[in-house]
């Protein structure tokens, strides 16, 4: 019996996904576990695997289309099976989703109830007594206004040629310009509309929630990195060994968190969780946003093991193949912009953690010693962002001071 393939939640925070590519075509025989398509989630591009054996009878959402979790994206069943009822159900579900911003009677052609501030003048609905009224749903008009699209240039696929959400999404996808034309557009002074990806939208949502719900405060400190860099040089002198500075930073941060468990904690509203494990995430840049691969149980791992795992995670992050288990649930996060020449910066806390450490570039800097002599040292600036609901100022300051001392003298981790 034929059944609809529904968009699944492929990550913990996924609400919608974009089908970037279909791996099979209509009429292909498929088996349970086969990869049917690739879906761009809020965090990465994930494989959508078939839940059943059969034949892919219909692709409902073409490549480039977005779908909310629970929306039908295809139909699977037996060859030559009648799927007309399922297609009608899918169309009805799409119509219902399209009408979430408000319903409109086709005969009366009522004006849109969407705020006029969200609709460009060219896209505002005409009153019933005007000629040339453009059949379109309220949501379609809002989306058209937000993307500077002329409804008169869009062909509707709804009843009676009515323009619906899917038509706007298709037009937006078609309007995306290749990189070369973007350069030409800038040179000619033209605007380029860049659609917001699902990942970018979720990043904006999560960080906005963090910034405005967690009362952030910031602590700054400078670290002399000479001893740590010397230790790394000695370690990397061994054959086939090249440990990154990030691995040292993660390990020493874990050691400091062991001494200050309140920093390795999370606000739960009516309670605070102090985590038993130290799972540290490292922010990694992707072409369309950030992702934070997580090294688990860092307190019980050595620097080499941390570095080995970190390199695998970073490679997968660049290929956008991280699984949800590999990028979610960090109890503490580190963000580094030193490779971009940034001296210092502040970072937004990455939930569920209550603190994030921002590290800058390591630079040779003149330092005044206690005997008033001037020495040139390798200095790195660190900024700790803290959630004041969980971490009091003195607690954050003591953690940061201990971390600095460990980094300046790595042997301190032994006592």
Mean pLDDT of 89-100: 72
- 198 pLDDT band, cuts 50/70/90, is low
Residues of the chain with CATH 3.30.559.10: 199-414
What local confidence, expressed as pLDDT, does residue 203 receive?
Answer: 77
Residue 260 among the catalytic residues: no
Residue % of the chain over a pLDDT of 90: 47
Given the structure tokens 């109830």, which residue do they identify?
113
Neighbours of 56 (CB within 10 A): 22
**CB contact at 8 A, 235 and 248:** no
Which tokens hold the place of 115? Answer: 């705020």
- C-alpha dist (Å) from residue 254 to 65, 179, 216, 384: 42, 42, 22, 14
What are 371-413's pLDDT values in tens digits?
A: 999 999 999 999 999 999 999 999 999 999 999 999 999 988 8
Phi/psi for 154 (5° steps) reads -115, 130
Catalytic residue among 53, 82, 343, 392: 392
Q: What angle do CA 317, 244, 255 make, to 5 degrees?
A: 95
Strands 355-359 and 332-336 come out as parallel
**DSSP string for 7-40:** PP--STT-SEEEEEEESS-TT-EE-TT-EEEEEE
Looking at the chain, the domain(s) classified CATH 2.40.50.100 span 3-100
**Digit-coded pLDDT (tens) for 107-157:** 444 433 333 333 333 344 433 334 456 788 777 777 777 677 888 889 888
SS3 390: coil
82 exposed, middle or buried (CB, 10 Å; 0-12, 13-18, 19+)? exposed
DSSP codes of every residue in 199-259: HHHHHHHHHHHHHHHS-EEEEEEEEE-HHHHHHHHHHHTSTT----HHHHHHHHHHHHHHH
Across the chain, mean pLDDT equals 84
Of residues 254 and 200, more confidence is placed in 254
Lowest mean pLDDT among 14-28, 159-173, 195-209, 320-334: 195-209
| Alpha carbons 200 and 212: distance in angstroms, whole number | 18
Q: Is the pLDDT of residue 321 over 70?
A: yes
Higher pLDDT pick, 145 / 266: 266
Angstrom distance (rounded) from CA 50 to CA 30: 7
Q: Which of 11, 19, 17 is nearest to 35 (CA)?
A: 19
- Flag whether pLDDT at 173 surpasses 90: no
Query: pTM of the full predicted structure?
Result: 0.63
SS3 content of the chain, % helix, strand, coil (to 5): 35, 25, 40
Helix (H) or strand (E) holding 54: strand 54-59
**Catalytic choice (216, 226, 318, 388):** 388
**Does the annotation mark 392 as catalytic?**
yes
User: Is the separation of the CB atoms in 22 and 63 below 8 Å?
Assistant: yes
pLDDT of residue 134: 78
Q: What is the pLDDT of residue 376?
A: 96
d(CA 264, CA 258): 8
Least confident among 6-15, 53-62, 310-319:
6-15
CATH no. for 199-414: 3.30.559.10
Pair 29, 47: CB distance under 8 Å: no
* CATH code of the region 3-100: 2.40.50.100
Q: Which of 9, 12, 16, 45 is nearest to 289 (CA)?
A: 45
The radius of gyration computed from the CA coordinates of the chain, to the nearest angstrom, equals 27
pLDDT of 216 above 60: yes
């Amino acid at each position: 019996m034929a059944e609809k393939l529904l968009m699944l939640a492929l990550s913990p925070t996924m609400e919608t996904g974009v089908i970037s590519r279909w791996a099979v075509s209509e009429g292909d025989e498929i088996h349970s576990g086969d990869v049917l398509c690739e879906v761009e989630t809020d965090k990465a591009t994930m494989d959508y695997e078939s839940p059943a054996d059969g034949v892919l009878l219909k692709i409902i959402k073409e490549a480039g289309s977005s779908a909310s979790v629970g929306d039908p994206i295809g139909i699977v069943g037996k060859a030559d099976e009648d799927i007309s009822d399922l297609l009608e159900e899918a169309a009805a579900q799409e119509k219902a989703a399209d009408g979430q911003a408000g319903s409109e009677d086709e005969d009366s052609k009522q004006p849109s109830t969407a705020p006029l501030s969200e609709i460009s003048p060219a896209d505002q609905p005409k009153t019933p007594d005007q000629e040339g009224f453009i059949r379109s749903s309220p949501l379609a008009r809002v989306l058209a206004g937000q993307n500077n699209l002329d409804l008169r240039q869009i062909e509707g696929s709804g009843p009676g040629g009515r323009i619906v959400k899917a038509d706007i999404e298709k037009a937006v996808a078609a309007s995306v310009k290749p990189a070369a034309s973007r350069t030409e557009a800038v040179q000619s002074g033209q605007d380029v509309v860049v659609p917001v990806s699902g990942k970018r939208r979720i990043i904006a949502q999560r960080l906005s929630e963090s910034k405005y719900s967690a009362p952030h405060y910031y602590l700054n400190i400078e670290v002399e990195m000479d001893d740590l860099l010397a230790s790394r040089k000695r370690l990397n002198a061994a054959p086939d060994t090249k440990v990154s500075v990030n691995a040292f930073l993660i390990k020493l941060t874990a050691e400091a968190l062991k001494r200050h468990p309140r920093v390795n904690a999370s606000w739960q509203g009516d309670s605070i969780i102090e985590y038993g494990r130290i799972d540290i995430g490292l922010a990694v840049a992707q072409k369309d946003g950030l992702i934070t691969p997580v090294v688990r149980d860092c307190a019980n791992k050595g620097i080499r093991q941390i570095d080995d795992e970190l390199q695998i995670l970073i490679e997968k992050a660049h290929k956008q193949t991280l699984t949800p288990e590999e990028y979610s649930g960090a109890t503490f996060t580190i963000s580094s912009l030193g490779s971009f020449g940034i001296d210092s910066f502040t970072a937004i806390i990455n939930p569920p953690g209550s603190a994030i450490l921002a590290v800058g570039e390591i630079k040779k800097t003149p330092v005044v010693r206690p005997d008033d002599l001037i020495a040139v040292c390798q200095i790195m600036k660190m900024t700790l962002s803290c959630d004041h609901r969980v971490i009091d100022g003195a607690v954050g300051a003591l953690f940061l001071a201990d971390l600095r001392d460990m980094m300046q003298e790595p042997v301190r981790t032994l006592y």
